[in-house]
Amino acid sequence: MDKLFAILGDIHANLDALEVVLADCREQGVTDYLCTGDVVGYNAQPHECLEIVRGLGCPIVMGNHDYYVSSRQDLDDFNPVAAAGIEWTRKQLSVEEMYFLRALPFVTTKTGITLVHATMDGPEDFGYVFDHLQAEAHFSHQVTPLCFHGHTHCPMIYEKQMGAVYRIDAQDFKLPIGRKYFINVGSVGQPRDGDPRAAYVLYDPKARTVRFRRLDYDIAAAQAKIREAGLPERLAQRLEVGQ
């Protein structure tokens, strides 16, 4: 059977979004999953999401929330809302789940495709890539033709061709041979590009096509769980605006 990859990340403990994405994956005929990290943080169902993602048996890389939730590091670098989410999540997970997160690799190239949460230009520093200069720094460390990442929660395409780097708006496309791509798959559980729908990417290695999927899910249900858990109100509000 031909392979069809689903690349998903920044799930951030949003079970309502994750379930809709995985149902779509099954409908699309996905054979293989890749996860760009940040399974937990922000939303209210870290345990459930972790169990499901682990059940996929797929490569997963370490996100910054996965890293900080599973360590005793201080949270000075985080804004108070994100820090509150991390502290709450630390109390929800079992010791075994903490160890699992703590052991995630920062980078994997297992499938011939590179996965990193933020950028190959210091995978452990979790820098943000928003423009072609930051992408250029990344590309100098990308060995494989294709790399998927997340972290900004904004789907985006970066292309390197004849030494020049371009930023291209997320759109379905066919990968030309001889160029390198660094593709941001967006966020399943907390999109920030102004579109509140859950985001993930499909990659067909035989047809060389990349498709950006957006899916409606029950945002009100996810918000109710955030409020019930006593997480910051801002985390509920941002889901409906996709910011």
Distance CA 136, CA 134 (A): 5
- Say whether residue 159 binds Zn ion (CB under 5 A): no
SS3 122: coil
Q: 99 and 69 in contact (C-beta within 8 Å)?
A: no
Q: C-alpha angle with apex 160: 185 to 175, nearest 5 degrees? A: 60
Considering the complex, state which of residue 78 and residue 158 has its C-beta at the smaller distance from Zn ion.
78
Considering the complex, state which of residue 37 and residue 59 has its C-beta at the smaller distance from Zn ion.
37
Longest CA pairwise span in the chain (Å): 52
In whole angstroms, the minimum distance from the beta carbon of 225 to Zn ion comes to 18
Considering the complex, state which of residue 38 and residue 97 has its C-beta at the smaller distance from Zn ion.
38
Distance CA 1, CA 225 (A): 39
In whole angstroms, the minimum distance from the beta carbon of 150 to Zn ion comes to 6
Which residue in the set 5, 6, 8, 10 belongs to the binding site for Zn ion (CB under 5 A)?
Answer: 10
Radius of gyration of the chain (CA): 17
Judged by CB under 5 A, the number of residues near Zn ion is: 2
In whole angstroms, the minimum distance from the beta carbon of 31 to Zn ion comes to 26
Which residue in the set 38, 66, 121, 193 belongs to the binding site for Zn ion (CB under 5 A)?
Answer: 38
**Signed CA dihedral, 46, 108, 110, 174: sign only:** positive
In whole angstroms, the minimum distance from the beta carbon of 123 to Zn ion comes to 14
Residues at the contact surface with Zn ion, assessed by CB under 5 A? 10, 38
